[in-house]
Amino acid sequence: MININIKGFLFFFVLILFCLPLIAFAQDIELEVLTDIDPFICQNEAIEFTYVSNQTPDSTIWTLDGNAIASSENMQTFSIVFNEAGSQEVAVVFFLNSEEITATITVEVDEFEIPEFTTRDTTVCRHDHFQLTTTEGLESMTFEWIPDTNVSDPNIANALATPKDTTVLILNISSENGYCTFTDSVIVNVLPNNVNIQLPPTAFVCDDSPQISLNTTVDPPGSEVQWFPNDGSLSSNTEQSPLATVDFSTRYIVNIETPDGCMHADTVIIRLDSLPEFDYSVVPGPRDPCEKYCVGDFFTIFSNIANPERFPDITYNWRPEDGSIQDSVTFQNISVIALTTQYYIRTNTNNACQSMDSIWIEVVDPEIPVNFSDTTVCANEPVQIIIDDTDLTDLEWSPTQGLSCTDCPNPIVTTAESTTYTLNATKEECCPVSVSVTVNIFFPPIPIDPLIACPGEPIQIIVNSEGFSNPQWVSNTDQLSCDDCFEPIAIVNTDTQFELRAFDEDNCESIGVATIGVFPMPDVMELDVSPGEEIPIGTEGTFTLNVSPSIDVDEINWFYNGDLVETGTRTVMIEIIEERENNFIRVEFLDANGCLRILEVTIDGVEPIFEVPNVFSPGGQTGINQLFRPVVVNADEFDGSFITDFKIFNRWGQKVYDNENNEEGWNGRQNGSQAPADVYVYVIEITLPNGRTRTLKGDVTLLR
């Protein structure tokens, strides 16, 4: 039993030792396929493949797209020609000890075919063309001919070439992915062969001058020339540039043959044109009786219509272009606004034919001759306007003020202000006309220097009055000390201007303006009041001046009800003694510009309010109404009692209390004894801080 187990174990161990090298070998094989060039090639090109391995195989098989193409015991290097385009897979299968290992590589093949040139070197006549290659070339390929001029399509292989000069045509070819390129060329020699009629394709002559020279260039010189048709309309059929005399529109053809046998032709159409006769009319006609138009009149110039079938190309152009023609100057008929006497000229053009017609339009000249230029004179200085009234009727001047006459040609103007005068009239008994002249009134200036003052401060106006007389101030005279003097004293509170009128040495009225500016208010100017604008009489209020820019306190004065109470301080305390709104606090000071400034505030003096009981009970157990006295309801606002006399009388007029203690009041006793319960009369005198007195009278009931 033990031997069997040992034998089995040994057999299994030997088997493992035998298999280990094979397993390791299968796991360690390395295989790779390499190429001598990049695997991106043209169709029909070959690539050499080599496998690289760390083991030597028993045999190998090479495949292309899965199909075996070669096998041997060990074919390490193998060359393949790729006849098909597209992506293809090359593989090598590696056999060793019954193991099979495969390595692959992908080859990209571009379709490629080189077209065949029709010629390598050729000679052609100019204007001839020939095909460059015999095939179109593959659609997947790209083609480029250089230069691309005179080639029918520079991007196809079999393009047509029509070179004008000797040249080398180069063809660049590329495969779809650019793996393959090819360049080839052809030399083309071009023989000169050109005839060119130096006229547009269609030239025009007019029937009144039907000749035209067919100027032509020929290259090379010495080429034979032949013109058609040979109908006698040409001065020569073999000259290079004959003269054509046409009776009707004709197509002329010129053929040449060069000494090298090259032929070329050119053509031209000579068209015979004419113009119709035109008749013109103007509607409406000119005005009666002058047989002219007025400036601004509207009229239309008409002509008969040219037959569009016979004259399809006829055009028109009107002159002058001065703005009077309201339509396009290329219209056949035009609307016109009359501006001046002149010709209206129309040029009629039908290709080579041209005519010119004119229409004379007379317009009444709107100008009125004036022997007067706009002038400047002194006020009320007479000046005469002189008008040439030839051909004028219905004269009327406006405005009429200041004119010696309003329906004459030569009025005298006397005016005190600049005025424009207009004359309306009728000229040549047809057209309304007008002219305007302006008489400007000049006021020689009176020199006056500008001033600046404090508001409300008198200041004298300084006038340079030399040569002037009869002064008269005409504005804001209520602020002047006089209105008929040169240098009055003015008092202003705001910026103000004063106008002065006077007469100079030539007795011409003159004007001067005196400008008085006012110093501006301080930036800050406030009067602060504490505790407020309601203050109990007999108490003090605090008043503070707040001003910016800052000033010297020596320039500050405080007033109470008009009386000076304090100077030289920004803050004062003033006792309020007047009842109600009878307390006026004013502060006067000089600001930074030296101007007197005033601030005022009205203080409401609050009075004491008295209440007098009508019953009291001295000695009562409640302890209430033990004394009889007046009560100040708002006593907490005041200093002092204000009671200066306090008397009480019984019903028989006997005095029972006489001001014994104004603060405590009557205790209900008379001569040391209790006064009987009864009704008593009281008389109380109150003295206010300002010295005024008041009397409180009434009765009070004493209870026991």
Residue 157, both tokens: 């292989």
The yes-or-no verdict on residue 13 having pLDDT over 50 is no
pLDDT at 58 (0 to 100): 86
Residue 259, domain CATH: 2.60.40.10
State the DSSP string of 459-517. Answer: EE--B--TT-EEEEE-SSGGGBS-SSSSS-EE--SS-EEEEEEEE-TT--EEEEEEEEE
Would residue 550 count as lying in a domain?
Answer: yes
Separation of CA 431 from chain center: 48
Backbone angles phi, psi at 481, to 5 degrees: -70, -25
The yes-or-no verdict on residue 16 having pLDDT over 70 is no
Task: Find, among 371, 375, 316, the residue nearest to 349 by Cα.
Answer: 316
pLDDT at 254 (0 to 100): 96
CA distances from 589 to 452, 567, 592 (A): 19, 10, 10
Question: 480 with 498: CB under 8 angstroms?
Answer: yes
Beta bridge partners of 651: none
The yes-or-no verdict on residue 655 having pLDDT over 50 is yes
Q: In the Cβ-directed half-sphere of 131, how many Cα atoms lie within 13 Å?
A: 10
Question: 372 with 437: CB under 8 angstroms?
Answer: yes
Query: pLDDT tens for residues 334-363?
Result: 999 999 999 999 999 999 999 999 999 999
Outline where DSSP puts E strands in 315-468. Answer: 315-319, 334-337, 342-350, 353-361, 375-377, 383-384, 392-398, 412-413, 419-427, 431-441, 451-453, 459-460
**Domain that residue 592 falls in:** 524-606
Residue 322, domain CATH: 2.60.40
Positive or negative: CA dihedral 398, 402, 405, 408: negative
Same domain? 619 vs 698: yes
Same domain? 394 vs 310: no
Residue 190, both tokens: 């071009």
The confidence band for 27, taking pLDDT boundaries of 50, 70 and 90, is very low
Average pLDDT for residues 653-675, to the nearest whole number?
Answer: 83
Would residue 15 count as lying in a domain?
Answer: no
Same domain? 354 vs 388: no
The yes-or-no verdict on residue 689 having pLDDT over 90 is no
Beta-carbon contacts of residue 443 (< 8 Å; ≥ 6 apart): 378, 379, 508, 509, 510, 511
Average pLDDT for residues 571-594, to the nearest whole number?
Answer: 93
The yes-or-no verdict on residue 268 having pLDDT over 80 is yes
Residue 219, both tokens: 């290259």
pLDDT at 661 (0 to 100): 63
pLDDT at 32 (0 to 100): 87
Average pLDDT for residues 459-486, to the nearest whole number?
Answer: 95
At residue 481's C-alpha, the angle toward residues 478 and 483, to 5°, is 70
Residue 455, both tokens: 């508001």
Question: 115 with 137: CB under 8 angstroms?
Answer: yes
The confidence band for 20, taking pLDDT boundaries of 50, 70 and 90, is very low
Q: Kind of pairing, strands 216-219 and 224-228?
A: unpaired
The confidence band for 154, taking pLDDT boundaries of 50, 70 and 90, is very high
SS3 content of the chain, % helix, strand, coil (to 5): 5, 50, 45
pLDDT at 22 (0 to 100): 30
Show which of 216, 250, 273 is a domain's final residue.
273
Quote the CA–CA distance of 688 and 221 in Å, as a whole number: 142
By CB atoms closer than 10 A (0-12, 13-18, 19+), residue 357 is middle
pLDDT at 8 (0 to 100): 35
B/e letters for 247-274, b = 16+ CB within 10 Å, e = fewer, are eeebebebebebeeebebebebebbbbe
The yes-or-no verdict on residue 369 having pLDDT over 90 is yes
Show which of 87, 110, 133 is a domain's final residue.
110
pLDDT at 365 (0 to 100): 95
At residue 52's C-alpha, the angle toward residues 50 and 53, to 5°, is 145
Quote the CA–CA distance of 132 and 434 in Å, as a whole number: 86
Same domain? 346 vs 380: no
Q: Cis peptide leading into 630, omega within 30 of 0? A: no
Average pLDDT for residues 245-257, to the nearest whole number?
Answer: 95
Same domain? 617 vs 698: yes
Q: Which residue has the higher pLDDT, 506 or 398?
A: 398
Same domain? 627 vs 696: yes
**Where on the phi/psi map is residue 625: left (φ > 0), alpha (ψ -120 to 50), or beta?**
left
Same domain? 353 vs 314: yes
Same domain? 143 vs 161: yes
pLDDT at 14 (0 to 100): 31
Would residue 10 count as lying in a domain?
Answer: no
pLDDT at 75 (0 to 100): 80
Average pLDDT for residues 637-651, to the nearest whole number?
Answer: 83
Same domain? 36 vs 102: yes
Task: Find, among 268, 267, 355, 339, the residue nearest to 306 by Cα.
Answer: 355
Residue 615, both tokens: 């019953």
Average pLDDT for residues 71-81, to the nearest whole number?
Answer: 78
The residue assigned the tokens 């009889």 is 628
The confidence band for 622, taking pLDDT boundaries of 50, 70 and 90, is low
Q: How far apart are the first and last CA of the chain?
A: 151
Would residue 504 count as lying in a domain?
Answer: yes
The confidence band for 15, taking pLDDT boundaries of 50, 70 and 90, is very low
The yes-or-no verdict on residue 26 having pLDDT over 80 is no
Same domain? 637 vs 589: no
Backbone angles phi, psi at 657, to 5 degrees: -150, 130
Q: What percent of the chain has pLDDT over 90?
A: 67
The mean pLDDT of the chain is 89
The confidence band for 624, taking pLDDT boundaries of 50, 70 and 90, is low
Show which of 144, 167, 191 is a domain's final residue.
191
Average pLDDT for residues 402-431, to the nearest whole number?
Answer: 95
pLDDT at 21 (0 to 100): 32
The yes-or-no verdict on residue 459 having pLDDT over 90 is yes
Would residue 2 count as lying in a domain?
Answer: no
Quote the CA–CA distance of 194 and 320 in Å, as a whole number: 47
Average pLDDT for residues 440-448, to the nearest whole number?
Answer: 93
Beta-carbon contacts of residue 394 (< 8 Å; ≥ 6 apart): 424, 425, 426
Quote the CA–CA distance of 254 and 216 in Å, as a whole number: 9
Average pLDDT for residues 629-652, to the nearest whole number?
Answer: 83
Would residue 14 count as lying in a domain?
Answer: no
Same domain? 266 vs 284: no
Would residue 90 count as lying in a domain?
Answer: yes
Same domain? 260 vs 327: no
Backbone angles phi, psi at 17, to 5 degrees: -65, -35
Between 29-33, 271-275, 546-550, 600-604, the lowest mean confidence (pLDDT) is in: 29-33
Task: Find, among 666, 651, 663, 656, the residue nearest to 699 by Cα.
Answer: 651
Query: pLDDT tens for residues 89-144?
Result: 999 988 888 888 999 999 999 999 889 998 888 899 988 888 999 888 888 899 99
How many domains is the chain built from?
8
**Where on the phi/psi map is residue 458: left (φ > 0), alpha (ψ -120 to 50), or beta?**
beta
Residue 645, amino acid:
D
pLDDT at 10 (0 to 100): 30
CB atoms within 10 A of CB 13: 10
Would residue 496 count as lying in a domain?
Answer: yes
Q: What percent of the chain has pLDDT over 70?
A: 94
Average pLDDT for residues 211-220, to the nearest whole number?
Answer: 95
pLDDT at 156 (0 to 100): 92
The yes-or-no verdict on residue 55 having pLDDT over 70 is yes
